[in-house]
Structure 1
Amino acid sequence: MDIGAILKSFIYLIASSLLYPVLFLLVIATLWIMIFSGSFFAEWLERLRFTKYEPVQLPHIIRQGKDRSMFSHRVAHYTQTLEALANKNEMTEPEVENIFQESTLRMWKSMDMLRIMVRLAPGLGLIGTLIPMGTGLAALGQGDMTKLSTDLVIAFTTTVVGLAVGMLSFFFYTVKRRWVEEDIKHMELATELLAGGERE
């Protein structure tokens, strides 16, 4: 019994069986990034409409609670929650801290899928490239040029798709991370002004 031949056949079988799951995952990743692009550009348009204020004006604006046009919907919802607690006299330090931590954690968790796609999509593209290259080289050895050309098309297209999804994910992640950091900064300021004033 040739153990080497058995191991090679087993590894080849595993690699070949991964092709269609990889192609399926690349299709899912492409659809996901297209859907995410819509929500990303919707938020981008929302932020383009923000009213611009000087940083020194922010505390006064937050205390007044009238002009929400300079904050994202997440920050506006957070400040409304704090104001509702203040009006009910239910604002305690542990409760405010918990609401702040939960809000920021939810915002960072929304970035997880983008961070995964930055690494996952190019990896799937590479796997989708190497598997057909192996079968294509085997077909070349048998003189089957049709099979070789088909496998090469699959190999190169999966590379392009994987890299494209990864690059878009990195772009969206970089911009959205800056947005999240800006929102958290505004939420921290709102917490200090609205909750801090109530606790004093």
Structure 2
Amino acid sequence: MKLLEQLLSLISEAVLLPTLAAIIILVAWSAMLLGGLLREWLGRRQVGAVITALRRAHVEGADQVRMLSILSTATTGLPARLHQLLSQWGGAGDLAHCLVDLEIEVASSLSRLTWMTRIAPMLGLMGTLIPLGPALTGLASGDLATLSSNLVVAFTATVVGVLLGCCSYTMNLVRKNWYQRDLSTLEHLFANASKPALP
């Protein structure tokens, strides 16, 4: 029994450093994602202008050629990405396939934020529980320095993990709202756009 306890203690102590390193990596990644969200927010006006132009053309009965011409003016957001996919696949003939690919890319992008929302608090909890063992040992032996240093690590890991979870959850909600609205509009507009008349 004593051997098992020592083995579990060794495993727990060995996992602490990778856990704290993973939390720091997630902090850096979250900062990058936050910068990307800010950049997207700044580009929302241009995305809105392109989608408004597409809607206007759709109401006027424009065909796919005209709609694709308007789409080519997009420089950011899902309209720009759809235009890139159409260029890669060879034009309007693969429009339905490109819309599916765009939907898959959106789901993949959002899944990374969902993963962070779930994994960050777990890492924070691990970073909290692991140092509690040495902290209790320090308390039992009267070593207040060991107790305080381990408690600082434990509570800091909790705060950072929960903060990361909150940030990633908020970014996920904001992006999901943007992407679902834009993707739904693009699918509706191009699904109902008339094909150019044959000569």
Task: Give the TM-score, by structure 1 length.
Answer: 0.81
Rounded to whole Å, the distance in 1 between the matches of 2:74 and 2:188 is 14
Query: What is residue 46 of structure 1 aligned with on the other side?
Result: 43
User: Measured at CA, do residues 132 and 62 of structure 1 come closer, stay the same or move farther in structure 2, by a change above 3 Å?
Assistant: farther
Task: Show the counterpart of 1:154.
Answer: 153
Paired residue total = 189
CA distance, structure 2, for counterparts of residue 77 and residue 18 of structure 1 = 41
Using the TM superposition, give the Cα deviation of residue 113 of structure 1 relative to its aligned residue in structure 2, in angstroms: 1.3
Structure 1 residue 71: deviation in Å? 9.0
Listed as ranges, the gaps of 5+ residues in structure 1 are none
TM-fit CA distance, 1:56: 6.6
Give yes or no for the alignment of 1:27 onto 2:24.
yes
In structure 2, runs of 5+ residues without a counterpart are none
Q: Give me the whole-angstrom Cα distance separating, in 2, the residues matched to 1:181 and 1:37.
A: 19
1:111 aligns to what SS in structure 2?
A: helix
User: Is the 1:136–1:148 contact (alpha carbons within 8 Å) kept by the matching residues of 2?
Assistant: yes
CA distance change for structure 1 residues 5 and 16 in 2, over 3 Å: closer, same or farther?
same
How far 1:104 moved relative to its partner?
1.0
> What is the deviation of 1:79?
4.7
Q: CA RMSD in A?
A: 3.0
Counterpart CA distance in 1 for 2:135 and 2:60 is 65
Cα distance in 1 between the residues matched to 2:98 and 2:30:
30
**Over residues 51-104 of structure 1, what are the superposed CA-to-partner deviations in whole Å (9 max), with x where a residue is unaligned?**
38599746237934465689953214425728x624xxxx2xxx3332221111
- Mapped pair 1:78 → 2:82: yes
Q: How does 1:15-164 map to 2 (within 5 A)?
A: 15-49=12-46, 50-51=48-49, 53=52, 57=56, 59-60=58-59, 63=62, 64-65=66-67, 73-79=77-83, 81=86, 85-86=91-92, 91=93, 95-164=94-163
- Cα distance, 1:18–1:184 mapped onto 2, change above 3 Å: same
- Name 1:197's counterpart in structure 2: 195
1: CA distance, partners of 2:60 / 2:28: 41
Deviation at 1:187, TM superposition (A): 2.3
User: Is 1:12–2:9 an aligned residue pair?
Assistant: yes
CA distance in 1, matches of 2:61, 2:152: 57
- Measure how far apart 1:110 and its partner are: 1.0
Give the conservation status (yes or no) of the 8 Å contact 1:132–1:155.
yes
